[in-house]
């Protein structure tokens, strides 16, 4: 038996997998998690984008110019360490294990090493690459969900995140031509999207803003009652989203949230109809009527009611309740930080695992592995080898998904791009010499 296995057998930690660790217990759990589970090599391969020193066309400084940020909590305070940087995977692993951050955020790639930014003039330190990212929190839907609020989620309201993944992922692939897209569960109340194509990483701030505006339908301030308005025919992207996703999902939402079974809830929907005579007529007919949604659709879509002001009313209601609500500032900026995949959420203990967009409707946030659960599984398999910790736990499927569906296709594309760029440069050099 190896020394490492003996040490593991001698000091099994007593685990309550239903308990969310805090304080020093969280630190102890994180020390084990970062020591045995966190996929350092995979994270390095991802964020290096082929610049691993194995090809003559590599940029050996690339990974070292990426900003990482650590959040470190104690019982009394919280410390944020920004502009952390690492030359390679080994440096990153050593630092994370030493600091045991409660959260790891990933930032942009800068012109110079972020840790040495003070050695350069302000104009010499700028972000030059950043994944196109999207941040969607279910708490932004609190005005249309009645089962939960704030950071709380359940299987009745989680479909809002499934809808967001379906709508945005389809548009990114079909409308913008992106291929390498990573969806990640935030650990509690939302999802994050990383678009990692080289073309996406090199978008300017103006281009990112244009893409954010493309998706931005839900508008208006807190005091604005109506936040979705369509003056004319739907844009093809919105028409596709409505037909393929939103229309059917809203029908389910009506049932799970009981939108037409409680007066205060269906009156909220009536307020989205601009014609007071129609509202009054509906309110009167709905007394004692249990098929209110079907009645509303029939009334607004009938020939006599198809006025210009009501033409898009059904679509506006559906979009108001189900269309993705983005934090567009996160998408527009290059220097916004976003939580790294495979972090442990300190509030829930859940791992921020990838989500397969092709099977996103199968994702269950309540069954996501927790750090306590992983350690319990580790103790139950104390005889496994040092290289196989993940394989015998419930994290294995998520790491496999990350590697096979996202990382491997991405790295192949990156290697091909490096090779093509290198060959082009060599040919240009030959041409200049021949001239």
Strand 127-129 to 181-185 pairing = unpaired
Within its chain, how far is the Cα of 330 from the centroid?
11
Is position 206 annotated as part of the catalytic site?
A: no
DSSP-based three-state secondary structure for 351: strand
Q: Which residues contact 194 (CB under 8 A, 6 or more apart)?
A: 131, 132, 133, 181, 182, 183, 184, 338
Q: How far apart are CA 300 and CA 288, in angstroms?
A: 20
Phi, psi of 5 (to 5 degrees): -65, -40
Active-site residue identified among 135, 169, 315, 316? 135
Q: What share of the chain is helix, strand, coil (3-state, %, to 5)?
A: 50, 10, 40
> Cα–Cα distances in Å, from 284 out to 267, 280, 290?
12, 6, 13
Q: How far apart are CA 105 and CA 82, in angstroms?
A: 9
48 in Cβ contact with 59 (< 8 Å): no
Helices and strands, number each (H, E), in the chain? 17, 9
The two three-digit tokens of residue 191, written as one number: 């999802």
Q: How far apart are CA 398 and CA 189, in angstroms?
A: 19
* Torsion on CA atoms 350, 354, 355, 357, rounded to nearest 10: 160
320 in Cβ contact with 246 (< 8 Å): no
Is position 137 annotated as part of the catalytic site?
A: yes
Active-site residue identified among 52, 93, 131, 137? 137
Q: Which residues contact 98 (CB under 8 A, 6 or more apart)?
A: none
**Cα three-residue angle 204-210-213, rounded to 5 degrees:** 140
Is position 315 annotated as part of the catalytic site?
A: no
Active-site residue identified among 52, 67, 93, 129? 67
Catalytic machinery residues = 67, 135, 137
């Amino acid at each position: 038996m190896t020394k490492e296995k003996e040490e593991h057998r001698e000091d099994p930690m007593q685990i309550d997998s239903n308990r969310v660790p805090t304080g020093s217990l969280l630190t102890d759990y994180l020390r084990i998690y970062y020591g045995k589970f966190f996929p350092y090599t995979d994270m390095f391969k991802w964020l290096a984008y082929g610049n691993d020193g194995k090809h003559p066309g590599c940029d050996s400084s690339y990974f070292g110019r990426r900003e990482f940020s650590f959040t470190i909590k104690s019982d009394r305070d919280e410390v944020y360490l920004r502009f952390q940087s690492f030359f390679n995977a080994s440096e990153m692993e050593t630092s994370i294990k030493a600091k045991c951050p409660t959260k790891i955020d990933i930032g942009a790639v800068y012109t110079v090493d972020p840790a040495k930014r003070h050695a350069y003039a302000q104009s010499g330190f700028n972000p030059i690459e950043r994944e196109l990212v999207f941040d969607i929190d279910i708490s932004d839907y609190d005005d249309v969900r009645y089962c939960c609020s704030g950071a709380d989620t359940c299987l009745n309201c989680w479909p809002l995140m499934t809808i967001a993944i379906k709508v945005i992922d389809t548009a990114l692939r079909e409308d913008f031509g992106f291929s390498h897209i990573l969806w990640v569960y935030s650990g509690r109340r939302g999802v994050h999207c990383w678009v990692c194509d080289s073309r996406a990483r090199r978008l300017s701030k103006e281009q990112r803003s244009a893409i954010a505006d493309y998706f931005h339908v839900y508008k208006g301030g807190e005091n604005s009652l109506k936040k979705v308005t369509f003056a004319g025919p739907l844009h093809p992207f919105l028409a596709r989203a409505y037909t393929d996703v939103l229309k059917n999902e809203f029908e389910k939402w009506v049932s799970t949230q009981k939108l037409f079974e409680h007066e205060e809830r269906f009156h909220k929907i009536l307020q989205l109809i601009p014609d007071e005579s129609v509202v009054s007529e509906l309110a009167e007919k709905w007394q004692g009527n249990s098929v209110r949604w079907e009645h509303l659709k029939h009334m607004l879509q009938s020939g006599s009611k198809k006025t210009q002001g009501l033409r898009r009313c059904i679509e506006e209601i559906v979009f108001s309740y189900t269309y993705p609500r983005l934090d567009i500032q996160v998408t527009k900026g290059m220097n916004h930080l976003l939580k790294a995949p495979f972090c442990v959420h300190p509030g829930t203990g859940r791992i921020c695992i990838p989500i397969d967009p092709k099977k996103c409707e199968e994702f269950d946030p309540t069954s996501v592995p927790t750090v306590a659960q992983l350690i319990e599984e580790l103790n139950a398999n104390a005889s496994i080898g040092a290289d196989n910790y993940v394989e015998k736990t419930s994290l294995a499927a998520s790491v496999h998904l990350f590697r096979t569906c996202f990382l491997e296709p991405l790295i192949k594309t990156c290697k091909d791009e490096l090779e093509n760029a290198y060959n082009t440069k060599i040919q240009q050099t030959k041409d200049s010499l021949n001239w």
